[in-house]
């Protein structure tokens, strides 16, 4: 773990100290926090989620923490050594993306501003930052830092108490469940073609899929593949169940190959996955989609979804 230095450090990387903030005696970067630090971070994130009603960081951050994968994590501790702030800087996909939160009860003391300063110094020219749930304090913080609203991600939801509209698969295609140890390469290849250039979903490797196969929620029966001749993959609908309470299903990844995007396969896959979640007895389904993806929003509205909340990404 590297304390934020006043001058560049040959061992900890090149970044300068943030402004001095009362109550925040030390900011430190770490790429692989030890087990005790991970437990502290996860506890802080749970407290923030309970207070704000929305998760403060995205799933990839949690996966890196829980599975010991390297990342760029910034910790803020008070004079007693208590972890009072956490930030993550993701520099994959050719962009620097920040997520951060402050422990409830320690907010309004300049901790978030100090985290933003340190993140910006490390990110360099451009930095993206999430305000999950469009939290008012996060929006104000971004605006004070001179950032502009650049992207919106909608979370949409629908009740599963109501019947799911049926949609026919295009002729020549059938559905089957994902087979672990067999389908990873084909799924990753199609995912990367379907989401080429996407800031989070592109550039996957088999290891990214395998990591999620090890998660407690993973269920191959809810990972539906649309296949054609010689078992060629044309699209897939990967569902996820959140334990709650109350439990809810998610359209986790819905992908259609570029050569199969005009025949109704996306709607058919979406409907089939929703039927699967409904048959499991779940009461609600959710999904995330880009606010400017008019075609996707139109399809999901026809399936009964409505906007629930917005995650906003700011750019400096």
183 and 72, same structural domain?
Answer: no
Question: Which of 146, 181, 207 represents a domain boundary (last residue)?
Answer: 146
Q: At a CB cut-off of 8 Å and minimum separation 6, what does 152 contact?
A: 290, 291, 292, 310, 311, 312, 313
Residue 175 in domain: yes
193 and 116, same structural domain?
Answer: no
132 and 67, same structural domain?
Answer: yes
Q: CA-CA distance, 133 to 65, in Å (whole number)?
A: 22
Q: CA-CA distance, 99 to 89, in Å (whole number)?
A: 7
Whole-number average pLDDT of the chain? 92
Provide the 3-class DSSP secondary structure of residue 7.
coil
Nearest to 193 by CA among 291, 261, 91: 261
171 and 106, same structural domain?
Answer: no
194 and 138, same structural domain?
Answer: no
163 and 139, same structural domain?
Answer: no
Residue 10 clears pLDDT 80, i.e. is over it:
no
Which residue matches tokens 């996966």? 63
What total of structural domains would you count in the chain?
A: 2
pLDDT one-digit tens code per residue, 51-72: 999 999 999 999 999 999 999 9
Residue 151 in domain: no
Question: Which of 146, 173, 200 represents a domain boundary (last residue)?
Answer: 146
Both tokens assigned to 60: 């990839």
56 and 21, same structural domain?
Answer: yes
pLDDT one-digit tens code per residue, 263-308: 899 999 999 999 999 999 999 999 999 999 999 999 999 999 999 9
180 and 129, same structural domain?
Answer: no
Mean pLDDT on 152-165: 97
CATH number at residue 104: 3.40.630.30
Cβ of 2: how many Cβ atoms within 10 Å?
15
Question: Domain residues for 142?
Answer: 2-146
184 and 70, same structural domain?
Answer: no
């Amino acid at each position: 773990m590297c304390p934020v230095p006043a001058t560049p450090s040959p061992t900890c990387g090149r970044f300068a100290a943030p402004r001095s903030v009362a109550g925040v005696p030390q900011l430190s970067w770490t790429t692989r926090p030890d087990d005790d630090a991970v437990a502290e971070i996860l506890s802080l994130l749970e407290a923030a989620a309970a207070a704000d009603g929305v998760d403060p960081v995205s799933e990839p951050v949690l996966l890196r923490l829980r599975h010991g994968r390297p990342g760029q994590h910034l910790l803020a501790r008070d004079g007693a050594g208590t972890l009072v702030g956490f930030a993550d800087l993701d520099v994959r996909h050719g962009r620097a993306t920040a997520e951060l939160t402050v422990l409830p009860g320690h907010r309004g003391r300049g901790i978030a501003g100090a985290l933003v300063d340190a993140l910006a110094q490390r990110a360099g020219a451009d930095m993206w930052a999430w305000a999950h749930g469009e939290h008012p304090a996060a929006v104000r913080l971004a605006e004070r830092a001179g950032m502009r609203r650049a992207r919106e991600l909608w979370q949409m939801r629908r009740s599963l108490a109501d019947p799911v509209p049926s949609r026919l698969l295009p002729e020549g295609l059938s559905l089957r469940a994902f087979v672990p140890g067999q389908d990873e390469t084909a799924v990753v290849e199609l995912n990367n073609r379907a989401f080429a250039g996407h800031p989070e979903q592109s550039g996957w490797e088999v290891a990214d899929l395998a990591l999620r196969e090890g998660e407690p929620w993973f269920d191959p029966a809810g990972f539906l593949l649309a296949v054609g001749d010689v078992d060629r993959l044309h699209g897939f609908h990967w569902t996820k169940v959140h334990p709650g309470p109350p439990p809810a299903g998610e359209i986790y990844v819905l992908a259609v190959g570029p050569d199969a995007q005009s025949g109704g396969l996306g709607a058919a896959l979406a409907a089939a996955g929703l039927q699967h979640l409904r048959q499991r007895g779940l009461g609600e389904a959710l999904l995330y989609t880009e606010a400017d993806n008019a075609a996707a929003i139109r399809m999901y509205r026809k399936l009964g979804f409505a906007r629930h909340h917005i995650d906003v990404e700011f750019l400096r």
